[in-house]
Amino acid sequence: MPDTPIIDMHHHLSSDPAYPDKLARACERLHIEKVCVMAIEPDLFMPEIADNAAVEAGFHKHPDLIVGFGHIRLGKDGPEKVSELKDRGFTGLKFIIPPKAYHDESFYPVYERAEELHMPGLFHLGIVARQASGHHVRVDCSLMRPVFLDSIARSYPGWTIIGAHLGNPWYDEATMAARWNPNLYFDLSGSTLKYRKPEYLGELLWWDSTTRYGSPDGSSAWEKIVFGSDVDYYEIKDVLHDYENVFKTLHLSEKVRHDIRYRNGARILGLEG
């Protein structure tokens, strides 16, 4: 495991009140300097995941480590909720299970406010884990396709957004959208790194400044990837190991490795230029 600094862009707290302290101890061991924690409000179907209030308590308790992403319930919360979360100290926003496709224009006032307030947004993409309870909530995974983030990124070029799970299973869509949108990033959390070979990711993330086809800002494909765990604190090490396996197998340069572990996330969070 590398002893260089890491930013985890995708994490959740469980409802265990001791979780933030356990997470802090794990992060110290793993050299994780910042961990972005996504809230999910309980009226969705994931009561075991900490809501906005619990995440808020977490970043007050560990202000140097925990970066709060507040949950906006698309279709219910308007732009005033974005401002409220900003005032409460949240850094970014989390979106999941929309009632209409993510790029539906009825959501645009929310996105516009997020851009204005410089709050990066992380969108769950693709398949959602099925829960034992909560069947009253209609889950339509087809409303969370990566190509919708392409529309949003083009409409709000000043807003930085992150798509989770590389769009599982719509990987091609995700990576092509990443290529054309300098403000669009992806994490590789979820099951992807377990069932896809590193070589497969290498084929999808192929362009850099030397290839015949590139990106408008000259960035390389791997500059659009961030580290995200999306597992309990005691499994973060395993996800880090999976990322390191990709780095090693594809012979990614030390610079690119550092970009993914830390620098791309730092840029999104405004920690460095």
Q: Which is nearer to Zn ion, 181 or 228 (CB)?
A: 228
6 touches 33 (CB < 8 A) = yes
205: tokens are 């993330």
State phi, psi for 125 to the nearest 5 degrees.
-125, 150
Q: Which is nearer to Zn ion, 173 or 230 (CB)?
A: 230
1: tokens are 């495991």
**Residue 11: beta bridge partners?**
37
Of 67-75, 148-156, 202-210, 229-237, which part binds Zn ion (CB under 5 A)?
229-237
SS3 50: coil
Residue 179's H or E segment, with its range, is: helix 171-180
Of 74-82, 225-233, 234-242, 250-258, which part binds Zn ion (CB under 5 A)?
225-233
Q: Which is nearer to Zn ion, 38 or 119 (CB)?
A: 38
Of 106-114, 205-213, 223-231, 242-250, which part binds Zn ion (CB under 5 A)?
223-231
Q: Which is nearer to Zn ion, 40 or 114 (CB)?
A: 40
If one asks whether residue 259 binds Zn ion (CB under 5 A), the answer comes out as no
What b/e string do you get for 148-166 counting C-beta neighbours within 10 Å, with b at 16 or more?
bbbbbbeebeebbbbbbbb
If one asks whether residue 230 binds Zn ion (CB under 5 A), the answer comes out as yes
Cβ of residue 178: shortest distance to Zn ion, in angstroms?
19
Cβ of residue 187: shortest distance to Zn ion, in angstroms?
9
Cβ of residue 49: shortest distance to Zn ion, in angstroms?
8
- DSSP code at position 157: T
Of 17-25, 150-158, 195-203, 226-234, which part binds Zn ion (CB under 5 A)?
226-234
**Residue 95: beta bridge partners?**
123
SS3 248: helix
Cβ of residue 74: shortest distance to Zn ion, in angstroms?
16
How many beta carbons lie within 10 A of that of residue 140, not counting itself?
12
Cα atoms in the 13 Å half-sphere on the side-chain side of 209: 4
Q: Which is nearer to Zn ion, 150 or 230 (CB)?
A: 230
Of 54-62, 65-73, 115-123, 222-230, which part binds Zn ion (CB under 5 A)?
222-230
Cβ of residue 11: shortest distance to Zn ion, in angstroms?
8
Cβ of residue 73: shortest distance to Zn ion, in angstroms?
16
| Cα–Cα dist 263/99, whole Å | 34
**Residue 162: beta bridge partners?**
122, 185
Q: Which is nearer to Zn ion, 231 or 266 (CB)?
A: 231
Please give the size of the binding site for Zn ion, defined by CB under 5 A: 1
If one asks whether residue 41 binds Zn ion (CB under 5 A), the answer comes out as no
Distances (CA, A) of 106 to 75, 83, 206: 8, 18, 35
Chain residues binding Zn ion by CB under 5 A are 230
